[in-house]
Chain A
Amino acid sequence: MLKISLANLDALFAAIAEKEALYIPTDKAGQAQYMRYENGMKMTDALNTVRSAKDFFFPQTENLVNFKVSGKTIEIIDPRTEHEDFVVFGVRACDVRSFSILDKVFLLSDPVDTYYENRRKHGTIVSMACTRPSETCFCGSFGIDAANPEGDAVCWKTEDSLYIQAVTEKGEALIEKIRPVLEETDDSAVEAQKAATREIMGKLPLAKFSTEKFGGEVLMKVFDSEKWASLSEACLGCGTCTFVCPTCQCYDIRDYDTGHGIQRFRCWDSCMYSDFTLMAHGNSRLTQKERFRQRFMHKLVYFPANNNGEYGCVGCGRCLSKCPISMNIVKVAKSLEGDL
């Protein structure tokens, strides 16, 4: 176990930033968000960023291919370049887990999404254990330990110090680079904090919340539930839940006419949108009820059915606090589980 005094945090960041691009969660325009580290930048006190850390590997928009048009000729240009190495610092346990969910979609099954792979390969995740979880947190429901997150390296922040430990080779390589600013210590303080956090986690209102009744087995039962109508009644059809969600992975591919060519890009899509899966014949999901149902079916039923029971949710609670009408996966699951 290595540590650095909180007063010296700047030195740690500077040391990382010297070697690689560093992103930390900071307060910008009143919101916690990841920003590229610049000298003097402070880490946020907020529990988590509004947007999740998935942006680093699956950004909201990404160019796939460019077509350069001049007169009647079209040239095809691959915009990809080898991504620079970067470090994402301070990722919470829930968000770290989201990467393994995204990996299952983009990386671990054919075809491999080379755009995602490019970013994933060059990114090092430094996670941060939670100490003050919120009432909207329910990562525990998915077997995530907020006190001891996954990641290439893990950090714990106490009153006065930041403790850091490498978990993977990437993590070790990073710590090797910044070793001079760190000092060796035992893990007693960290263990004490873990215990404290776990105790708080147990007291959270959603500590007992579980999705275990859901999965591939109950597909039709959930799908056909009459409750979807009332649950989706007030849904605005906006994309807030999907866009703040660390595991939502749907995207649309669009062409942008630049005037001298086409940029074919992908951008996040939302199953809540009326043009989601719009095809030439029209949309198979005719009303907001079907679109709304899709999102929760995906997270609670389709994803576990296809991924050995793993749910497509990490319990970060972003949708709970951000949905304009306060409708969310917890309310949906609680409403439906009675019938299962």
Chain B
Amino acid sequence: MQKIGVFVCWCGSNIAQTVDVQAVSDALAKEPGVVYSTNYQYMCSEAGQNLIKDAVKEYGLTGVVICSCSPRMHEATFRKAVASVGLNPYMLEVANIREQCSWIHKDKEVGTEKAIILGRAAIAKVQLNAPLQAGESPVVKRALVIGGGIAGIQTALDIAEAGFEVDIVEKNPTIGGKMTQIDKTFPTLDCAACILTPKMVDCAQNEKIHIYSYSELKEVKGFVGNFSVKINKKARYVDENKCTGCGECTTKCPMKNVPNEFNLGMDNRRAIYIPFAQAVPKVATIDPNYCNMLKNGKCGLCAKVCGAGAIDYKQQDQVIEEKYGAIVVATGYNPIKLDKFDEFGYSLSKDVITSLEFERLTNAAGPTSGTLLRPSDGKHPHTIVFVQCVGSRDTSGCGKPYCSKICCMYTAKHAMLTREKYPDTDVYVFYIDVRSPGKNYDEFYRRAVEQYGVHYIKGMVGKVAPRADGKIMVQASDLLANEQLHIEADLVVLAAAIEPDKSARPLATMLTASMDTNDFFTEAHAKLRPVESPTAGIFLSGACQGPKDIPDTVSQASAAAAKVIGLLVKDKLTTNPCVAQSNELMCNGCSSCEKVCPYGAITYIDKEFRMPDRTTRIRRVASVNPAVCQGCGACTVACPSGAMDLKGFSNSQIMAEVDAICQMK
């Protein structure tokens, strides 16, 4: 019988509010084997950990049960604490009475009763725990960054700086991401391209960094320190090594009417294209949806004009397999589609545009070469209405419930820049709140209002209606003046909410990484581990984790890089000791377990056994390689004799938990 200590955490009021922690520790004190039971405000705090350590020493505890938050959160913390006072860390179990109890139950009586049962189950399990020793596994000293926007670029550069190999996988033909489409950046108003493109070039030139552009992840296997990844390098029909990026082909291609995604469809590109002048890699790509040669074998003009002979219409998708020690997710964001927002008339008029489109309209490399002109008639707009929170902070279900964070600032930037360049323009900004926390942000916003005379109006736009004469009627309410406004605008700019890139969800699935209901990746801890996913070895960089502006993104990108470097500098990781083990005396040698093992961890040996009647017998028995076994347990069920069991999750432990949970009352 173990000597068990039970420690019930209040988690401030997170647990204590719906679970009577005193009642839980009192009830669990009565369980067989429990010699000490207490509760404390924050078990994970130093004082809390000391409480546990002291009790282990004072009562000679052989087993510890912590009733607290999810073991995915603090199991490692507590295991480390008990190990520091000499108790085997695997003699500790966590009963999850927060995520799976206090947070989902409102009734204190119900919560308390359930917490006691969960505690009992953990006690029942600990009774059967055995000390386990962790093994070691090597770390592949190479990182993978998924996404080549500013987040991915920064992370990759920082990791490479520390001397580790990094691969960037970018689904578009060039790295750079959303930042390449932005004209100027707040609050300094320096040109986005000027600060981004050198970094892109750095990436291309850094010998530690390899860029897989126009590529996507196909499969991820393995675990922290040893991921095995298949990357699908899409056929771009241009040999990257031969193409010099001269751009000759992109001027000769006869397919001229392909919407140019770089300018958000506001102008056209050819079927063979380089997204923009500073693209990295600066290599042409053929769009197979528009290329005549690829569609019906007629044309071949680009091949003729290519001096380097880089065009290869027969190119196939190529699957590259590579091993990585760590994976960084930097998949970024996109503005939401606005087709559900009829009231803003986005689909009714070309002159109702999104903020990102506005960026392109003011950018020198944009469709208007940087002159602000109405998309419909190319005329200079004199009245511009900016609408904030389009789809953000929206609980109607059409948009997103969260604040997109960046819109207030970029709208201030747009308004300010417009007024500066075109002082004859009337600029209105409709807002719910103006949120400008951040260094020099509020000053920036105030400048827009005070120096540049932008009309900031608190209130929401009710209707945007294009008129036959080209004017756009904006109906809105001014909440402060308490009046209805009717503005005849020439251009309406919508600050569309941002959402995670569509590729994020399937990627999360591949990585077995958590996501929240909005498809943002979940961090391991919102405050303490903001750049790590709960899945070991997966790190988060940039807007894939939540809306972020460039400074935040870059900070997080560097933080993620630091975490990756911390992992890659290790030669070995201690491995999970919860691995399968075969009881040779009961093993039939039937090979069922071997067949279901995904790691090839099971082999067979012929071994001599002394039988009860003093004869010897050579029997074929299974042998598990603990360094290779990952502890899934598939073999344990395949084994008919029950010879195969899993340490840490043994048959008897799981059945003890079942018993404790089902105990009739």
- Segment 276-296 of A: residues with Cβ below 8 Å from B: 282-283, 286-287
Q: Which residues of A contact B659 (CB under 8 A)?
A: 257, 259
Residue in A72, A259, A260, A286 whose CB lies within 8 Å of B612: A286
- Segment 241-268 of A: residues with Cβ below 8 Å from B: 257-260
In the complex with contacts A71-B30, A72-B30, A72-B32, A259-B613 CB distance below 8 A: no
Q: How far is the CB of A282 from chain B (nearest CB, A)?
A: 6
B613→A260 contact, CB < 8 A = no
Residue in B30, B31, B32, B664 whose CB lies within 8 Å of A259: B664
Q: Mark B645-665, 1 if CB is under 8 A from A, else 0.
A: 000000000000001001111
User: How far, in whole Å, are A309 and B177 apart by their CA atoms in the complex?
Assistant: 100
Q: How far is the CB of B245 from chain A (nearest CB, A)?
A: 73
Q: Which residues of B contact A71 (CB under 8 A)?
A: 30-32
User: How far, in whole Å, are A259 and B32 apart by their CA atoms in the complex?
Assistant: 13
Q: How far is the CB of B322 from chain A (nearest CB, A)?
A: 51
User: How far, in whole Å, are A71 and B663 apart by their CA atoms in the complex?
Assistant: 13
B612→A283 contact, CB < 8 A = yes
Q: Which residues of A contact B31 (CB under 8 A)?
A: 71-72
User: How far, in whole Å, are A286 and B664 apart by their CA atoms in the complex?
Assistant: 41
User: How far, in whole Å, are A277 and B233 apart by their CA atoms in the complex?
Assistant: 68
Residue of A nearest to B658 (CB): A259
Q: Which residues of A contact B662 (CB under 8 A)?
A: 259
Q: Which residues of B contact A259 (CB under 8 A)?
A: 659, 662-664
Residue of B nearest to A282 (CB): B612
A260→B664 contact, CB < 8 A = yes
Q: How far is the CB of A101 from chain B (nearest CB, A)?
A: 32
Interface size class of A (residues with CB under 8 A): 10 to 19
- Segment 71-117 of A: residues with Cβ below 8 Å from B: 71-72
Q: How far is the CB of A237 from chain B (nearest CB, A)?
A: 14
Q: How far is the CB of B496 from chain A (nearest CB, A)?
A: 58
- Segment 612-665 of B: residues with Cβ below 8 Å from A: 612-613, 659, 662-665
Q: Which residues of A contact B664 (CB under 8 A)?
A: 258-260
B613→A286 contact, CB < 8 A = yes
A287→B30 contact, CB < 8 A = no
User: How far, in whole Å, are A260 and B124 apart by their CA atoms in the complex?
Assistant: 13
Residue of B nearest to A74 (CB): B32
User: How far, in whole Å, are A260 and B662 apart by their CA atoms in the complex?
Assistant: 10
User: How far, in whole Å, are A287 and B659 apart by their CA atoms in the complex?
Assistant: 36
- Segment 20-35 of B: residues with Cβ below 8 Å from A: 30-32
Most chain B CB within 10 A, of A257, A259, A282, is at A259
User: How far, in whole Å, are A283 and B613 apart by their CA atoms in the complex?
Assistant: 10
Q: Which residues of B contact A257 (CB under 8 A)?
A: 659
B30→A260 contact, CB < 8 A = no
Q: How far is the CB of A69 from chain B (nearest CB, A)?
A: 8
Q: Which residues of B contact A260 (CB under 8 A)?
A: 663-665
User: How far, in whole Å, are A258 and B665 apart by their CA atoms in the complex?
Assistant: 12
B613→A287 contact, CB < 8 A = yes
Q: Which residues of B contact A287 (CB under 8 A)?
A: 613
Q: Mark A143-177, 1 if CB is under 8 A from B, else 0.
A: 00000000000000000000000000000000000
Residue of A nearest to B613 (CB): A286
Residue of A nearest to B659 (CB): A259
Residue of B nearest to A71 (CB): B30
Residue of B nearest to A274 (CB): B612
User: How far, in whole Å, are A69 and B662 apart by their CA atoms in the complex?
Assistant: 15
Q: Which residues of A contact B663 (CB under 8 A)?
A: 259-260
Q: How far is the CB of B644 from chain A (nearest CB, A)?
A: 21
Q: How far is the CB of B539 from chain A (nearest CB, A)?
A: 44
User: How far, in whole Å, are A260 and B32 apart by their CA atoms in the complex?
Assistant: 12
Residue of B nearest to A289 (CB): B613
User: How far, in whole Å, are A71 and B123 apart by their CA atoms in the complex?
Assistant: 12
Q: How far is the CB of B127 from chain A (nearest CB, A)?
A: 12
- Segment 199-231 of B: residues with Cβ below 8 Å from A: none
User: How far, in whole Å, are A219 and B31 apart by their CA atoms in the complex?
Assistant: 54
Q: Which residues of B contact A258 (CB under 8 A)?
A: 664
Q: How far is the CB of B600 from chain A (nearest CB, A)?
A: 35
Q: Which residues of B contact A282 (CB under 8 A)?
A: 612
User: How far, in whole Å, are A117 and B89 apart by their CA atoms in the complex?
Assistant: 55
User: How far, in whole Å, are A72 and B4 apart by their CA atoms in the complex?
Assistant: 13
Residue of A nearest to B31 (CB): A71
- Segment 299-330 of A: residues with Cβ below 8 Å from B: none
Q: How far is the CB of A27 from chain B (nearest CB, A)?
A: 36
Q: How far is the CB of A289 from chain B (nearest CB, A)?
A: 10
User: How far, in whole Å, are A177 and B448 apart by their CA atoms in the complex?
Assistant: 111
Q: Mark B25-53, 1 if CB is under 8 A from A, else 0.
A: 00000111000000000000000000000
User: How far, in whole Å, are A74 and B376 apart by their CA atoms in the complex?
Assistant: 87
User: How far, in whole Å, are A257 and B612 apart by their CA atoms in the complex?
Assistant: 30
User: How far, in whole Å, are A7 and B257 apart by their CA atoms in the complex?
Assistant: 102
Q: How far is the CB of B415 from chain A (nearest CB, A)?
A: 70
Q: Which residues of B contact A69 (CB under 8 A)?
A: 32
Q: How far is the CB of B609 from chain A (nearest CB, A)?
A: 14
- Segment 26-85 of A: residues with Cβ below 8 Å from B: 69, 71-72
- Segment 509-532 of B: residues with Cβ below 8 Å from A: none
User: How far, in whole Å, are A69 and B120 apart by their CA atoms in the complex?
Assistant: 14
User: How far, in whole Å, are A324 and B612 apart by their CA atoms in the complex?
Assistant: 26
Residue of B nearest to A283 (CB): B612
Q: Which residues of B contact A283 (CB under 8 A)?
A: 612
Residue of A nearest to B612 (CB): A286
User: How far, in whole Å, are A259 and B659 apart by their CA atoms in the complex?
Assistant: 6
Q: How far is the CB of B295 from chain A (nearest CB, A)?
A: 69
Q: Which residues of B contact A286 (CB under 8 A)?
A: 612-613
Q: Which residues of A are interface residues toward B (Cβ below 8 A)? A: 69, 71-72, 257-260, 282-283, 286-287
The 3 closest A-B pairs by CB, nearest first: A71-B30, A286-B613, A259-B663
Given contacts A71-B31, A259-B659, 8 further A-B contacts (CB under 8 A): A71-B32, A72-B30, A258-B664, A259-B662, A259-B663, A259-B664, A260-B663, A286-B612
Q: List 13 A-B contacts (CB under 8 A).
A: A69-B32, A71-B30, A71-B31, A71-B32, A72-B31, A72-B32, A258-B664, A259-B662, A260-B663, A260-B664, A260-B665, A282-B612, A283-B612
